[in-house]
Amino acid sequence: MRPPIPRRLFRRVASAAVCVLALLTAHPVSAVAAPAAPAAAGLVQVTGFGSNPGNLQMFAYTPDTVAAGAPLVVALHGCTQTANAYYSNSGWPKYADLWGFDVVFPQTTSANNALSCFGWFDRNESTRGRGEAASIVQMVEYAKQTYGSDGRRVYVTGLSAGGGMTADLLAAYPDVFAGGSVASGLPAQCATSQAAASGCQTGPQKLTPAQWGDKVRASHPGWTGPWPRVAIWQGTSDYTVYPANATALRDQWTDVWGIGQTPSSTESLPGSTTRSVYDDASGKPAVETFSVAGMGHGLPVGPGSGADQCGSAGAYFLNTLCSTYHTGVFWGLDQGAPGGGDGLPAPSGLTVTGVTDSTASLSWSAVTGASSYAVYRDGAKVATPASASFTDTGLTAGTAYRYTVAAVGSTGTSGAASAAVTATTSGGAAPAKCFTATNYAHVTAGRAHTTGGHAYANGSEQDMGLYNVFVTHTLRESPAGRFVIADSGCQAGSS
């Protein structure tokens, strides 16, 4: 691992002898380049998400099949990594598709820290309302407003320095995050200075559980709960972030929950992994630890096509078992999987059949066994028609509205939601125009521009992938001069 240098100290650190948290043990890095732009395979950069006091970049994976009102996961990379590396290797996109949720991948760069480490050890970056922590929460707010994410089901996870920042976020924002997962990371507020960082890495202070818990309570004074539910992942042969950190994390969060440090249950999992569960007063798991025997520094992944397999092995993505699957189950993300709500599937064929300046008409394929349907506009339920069609009224002219539909069973429980469509009422701005072409042609026509070998849509700055004649996208222009990716469909008044 290499030392992370906070942006405020970057110009002052001249000696290579400075020792702080680093990510690389088995594969040391001789030089650090600026992170490459993420690939276009579903990962899109988002700009304008807030004032961004921490100077971070926001990338998001938002599957077409995910409806508004779904959970949100925030996934933080480790030092020298990028959002794209975490997207490609961690396995989160697989379960976003399978279970139905959106994922935000914050990215820090060498402009913040020489090795692109999140500033878990810097109070100006890791505390409530400040720096990188505040930027990440702004990304959450953007997702809630734009994707309709359920604010009650927001979760954060991270590796190494990203794991340290995860613990800090859980402590500083228990009102934002319902749960977290710390992989090869550090206890919340273990270090609050450059000098203390390396001590946490190799062996945190020998504090009592109450003293560790006090660090969490002091991060958001006056908060009385509920506290986030926390998963802790650690390799027993990690000599970069030592296993003592997992013990300190367990002590910290069990104390916050007011439960003891003796597990309620223990079981063996694949990959030489031992899971220990610490239940709250109601008997529900509040803290879980996953100790992976013989594993070094990294995120456990388990490549394969099985339901509990995920990810790709690589530097700091270690082939043991799919931690993402077990973390998602711990948080309950699997409970919203397709087939919920009396086992009813998502309605197919949701289409905008017409618009006026104040109405939008929808239709979809009927679902066998449905007693009615729930129609959602921008994440809020607006109607429960009995038939497979609906006309929404009282809308504003020239405005875009995002719709999804779910079948409702005889018990009144909604099943899986449909893919979203957007209806734009007439009037107001001029109708949208749509263009389908290669990335090369879009750039040539002035609808996109290039940076670093990728094409970016003018106005929205969405990453369209490699600048070549092999990648094709549909761009929707609205208003004039602003283009957004509309590969799922783009017609006048709808997309």
SS (H, E, C) 81-101: CCHHHHHHHCCHHHHHHHHHC
Q: Say if residue 402's pLDDT is above 60.
A: yes
Residue 228, helix vs strand vs coil: coil
Position 302, amino acid:
G
Exposed, middle or buried by CB within 10 Å (0-12, 13-18, 19+), for 471? middle
- The encoded tokens of residue 140 equal 């959450």
CA distance 366 to 358: 26
Q: What is the tens place of the pLDDT at every residue in 334-374?
A: 865 443 445 577 788 999 999 999 999 999 999 988 889 98
In degrees and rounded to multiples of 5, residue 137 shows phi and psi of -65, -35
- The encoded tokens of residue 115 equal 């090795």
The predicted structure's pLDDT at residue 495 = 35
Residue pair 120/62 in contact by the 8 Å Cβ criterion: no
The predicted structure's pLDDT at residue 8 = 28
Is the C-alpha dihedral spanning 251, 255, 259, 260 positive or negative?
A: positive
Catalytic residue selected from 160, 363, 478, 495: 160
| Sequence spans of domains, the chain | 10-336, 340-424, 433-485
Q: Averaged over 84-105, what is the pLDDT? A: 95
In degrees and rounded to multiples of 5, residue 244 shows phi and psi of -60, -25
Q: Rg of the chain's alpha carbons, rounded to an integer?
A: 23
CA distance 222 to 7: 31
CA distance 147 to 145: 6
Exposed, middle or buried by CB within 10 Å (0-12, 13-18, 19+), for 316? buried
The predicted structure's pLDDT at residue 409 = 77
In 3D space, the residue among 229, 236, 231, 230 whose CA is nearest the CA of residue 291 turns out to be 236
CA distance 230 to 249: 9
Q: Strand ranges (DSSP E) for 207-253? A: 229-235
Q: Strand ranges (DSSP E) for 409-493? A: 414-417, 421-424, 433-438, 448-451, 454-457, 463-466, 472-477, 483-485
The predicted structure's pLDDT at residue 3 = 35
Residue pair 294/318 in contact by the 8 Å Cβ criterion: no
- The encoded tokens of residue 382 equal 């607006």
The predicted structure's pLDDT at residue 57 = 97
Q: Say if residue 38's pLDDT is above 50.
A: no
- The encoded tokens of residue 11 equal 């110009």
Q: Report the CATH fold assignment for 340-424.
A: Immunoglobulin-like (2.60.40)
Position 138, amino acid:
Q
Between 472 and 409, the more confident residue is 472
Q: What is the tens place of the pLDDT at every residue in 323-333?
A: 999 999 999 88
Active site residue 160: yes
Is the C-alpha dihedral spanning 88, 92, 98, 103 positive or negative?
A: negative
Q: Does the domain formed by 10-336 have CATH 3.40.50.1820?
A: yes
Q: Averaged over 286-310, what is the pLDDT? A: 95
Mean pLDDT of the chain: 85
